[in-house]
Amino acid sequence: MLEVRDKKIRSYKDLEVFKLSYKIAMDIFFLSKKFPKEETYSLTSQIIRSSRSISANITEGWAKRSYENVFKQHLVSSLGSCAETINWLEFAKDCQYINEAEYNDIEEKLNVIGKMLNKLHQNWKTRSKIS
């Protein structure tokens, strides 16, 4: 079992970066409900997909964590999805579907998630007996 700062990590759900990325995906989902209908199959779909991909890649990588490089590659994919989500978020702001404050709040949270993903990627070491 992996221990991080005296907390036992038994599941990807115990990872703070997973919790934050899942929450931001839900926040974006509810925020996107106010986007116009004509954006349903473009911007709305893209931003929901990319935001959900952050936590989904953490989950998939966790399942393969005994293969260090595979897990780390999933963290890199999560980081890419995080950057992609910021791009779609900027489109939403520039199209005036969200305001500057909403944009800044979510962008800041995504930047924190990105830093956490980078840190986890740098510090991850596969243990021989991971539970």
Domains of the chain: 12-123 (1.20.1440.60)
What tens-digit pLDDT sequence spans the chain (131 residues)?
454 454 688 899 999 999 999 999 999 999 999 999 999 999 999 999 999 999 999 999 999 999 999 999 999 999 999 999 999 999 999 999 999 999 999 999 999 999 999 999 999 876 644 44
Q: What is the pTM of this model?
A: 0.89
| Burial class, 128, CB count within 10 angstroms (exposed 0-12 / middle 13-18 / buried 19+) | exposed
